[in-house]
Chains A and B, each alone.
Chain A
Amino acid sequence: MPNIIHYRDKCIGCGICYEMMPMVWRMSKKDGKATLLKSELKKKTYVLQIDDSLVEDSKKVAEACPVKIIKVNK
């Protein structure tokens, strides 16, 4: 199953991921960084299994992230 990986530490909280895919991302009110909803924490990175249908949009988000901390694996 494809997944999204988020290296959250380096997030600068620009909010673009949330703008583009609000069903997967939220801006944390607590620390101002993006949160990958329902993801699992694995060694400092957050991983979320996604449906094939979300891969294309997720790739666009990964491309848009200014600090390139989002990876999409098919």
Chain B
Amino acid sequence: MKKEIELLAPAGSFESLHAAIQAGANAVYFGVEQLNMRAKSINSFALSDLAQIKKLCSKHSIKTYITLNTVMYEHDMQILKTILKEVKKQKIDAVIAADFAVMEYCKQLKIPVQISTQANVSNIESVKFFASFSDAVVLARELTLKQVKQITNEISRKKIKGVSGNLMRIEIFVHGALCMAISGKCYLSLHTQNSSANRGACNQNCRHAYKVIDQETNEELMIDNEYIMSPKDLCTIDILDKIIDSGVVILKIEGRGKGPEYVYTVTKIYKEALKAIEENNYTKEKIEQWKIALEKVYNRGFWEGYYLGRKLGEWTENPGSAATEKKVYVGKGKKYFSKAKIGEFVIETGTIKMGDSLMITSPDFGIHTQNIERLVVNGVDATVAVKGDSITIPIERKITSRDKLYKIVEA
């Protein structure tokens, strides 16, 4: 029997949600309000957005998973119930949970649950334990593919079924940031800035450069790399066949804090790779091309994580992203002339010129890229536009004042 593989993309905003849909994701995950691991991110969704998210996803037959995976305190119980009631009402497909209170409430309300990677599930007995609360488990990111395969084999052999009566489904991360702490359970940020990663407020101390100095001798210890706590990002595009072979059925892309161009590019490429595998057409040349394309969006350099059993030691050499391209903000949308298919924008900073490659991000359609082939500045044909100018360009997308205009340049 052929397994349906589900590609699960992050959606931290309506822009990213649209980008995930555009790129062909089978499912999306997102958080609302403060009880999710990206609570600090500026564009998090509100509870009142759930209806719209669901509507949009239903239209495209995409599954919706909501993250409720922070540490839960006593004072969170009421808001948790309020959120879950809305989740039930909107028929969100599952809740991603790590705390037992969340699992228990979901059980009472008959809401499907997926066990978060925060729960650090690393063996079949844990899967069995969680099976009475859930239908899917996101395994610990630190397992090797061999260990993953043992778990999926055992699920089939022992017929371990979840709440729905179907066999437990296994999910793993295939792309995105990794962190030095096991299953994200890190206290660095809490210790240094009172800012708990486990409440979605990670300050990313691990991404800084550090020196190690011997206090007695004042000597600086030799270490290979100053970024001693910042692992490179996970990328499995070249071992995706092995990943599928391990028996997992949900492939998750990290990045709810990242932009729509990241969500679009990564989702699209993994989707293509999955198709290639299915069609027996997963070639070295293609993998090379995909890698180059993935390097264009946010990344800290790539490695294949712990899946092949390699020792930890792939540290990033970058304080930020090693992406080969970056987007530079230049202005925002103003209006759209539907008949003529012309969009108007106001340049707020920098310049743009003929031939530039533009990207527009929008809460209504996700992302759109195109080169400038015709440019009208303040009503007359021109080759350059600067700050303060109002420009119009032919474009197929309906532009509104909520859209942002970027220029794509080499990083």
Q: Residues of A with Cβ closer than 8 Å to B?
A: 11-16, 27-33, 64-67
Contact = CB atoms under 8 A, between A and B. Distances in A.
Given A13-B199, A66-B195, A31 B73 contact: no
A16 B35 contact: no
B40 A66 contact: yes
Nearest to A19: B194
A12 B34 contact: yes
Contacts of B89: none
B196 A66 contact: yes
B82 A67 contact: no
A31 B196 contact: no
B93 to A, nearest CB: 24
Q: How large is the interface on B (under 10, 10 to 19, 20 to 34, 35 or more residues)?
A: 20 to 34
B40 A13 contact: no
Given A15-B73, A67-B201, A31 B193 contact: no
B76 interface: yes
Given A11-B34, A32-B35, A67-B40, A16 B79 contact: no
Contact of A28 (B33, B75, B193): B75
18 contacts: A12-B34, A12-B201, A13-B35, A14-B195, A14-B199, A16-B194, A27-B75, A29-B75, A29-B78, A30-B78, A31-B33, A31-B82, A32-B76, A33-B34, A64-B194, A66-B194, A66-B199, A67-B201
Interface in B332-353: none
A20 to B, nearest CB: 10
Given A66-B194, A66-B196, A67-B40, A14 B201 contact: yes
Nearest to A18: B75
Contacts of B40: 12, 66-67
Given A32-B35, A66-B193, A66-B195, A13 B73 contact: yes
B75 A15 contact: yes
Most buried by A among B75, B82, B200, B201: B75
B94 interface: no
Contacts of B78: 29-32
Interface in B64-80: 73, 75-80
B97 interface: no
| A contact face: mostly helix, strand, loop, or mixed | loop
A12 B32 CA distance: 11
Contacts of A13: 34-35, 73, 75-76, 79, 199
Interface string B32-48: 01110001100000000
A28 B74 CA distance: 10
A31 B79 contact: yes
Contacts of A14: 195-196, 199, 201
A27 B72 CA distance: 13
Given A12-B200, A15-B73, 14 more contacts: A12-B39, A12-B199, A12-B201, A14-B199, A14-B201, A15-B75, A27-B73, A31-B33, A31-B78, A32-B34, A32-B35, A32-B73, A66-B196, A67-B201
Nearest to B197: A66
Contacts of A64: 194
A28 to B, nearest CB: 7
A5 to B, nearest CB: 19
Contacts of A67: 40, 195, 201
A14 B78 CA distance: 15
Contacts of B193: 66
Contacts of B199: 12-14, 66
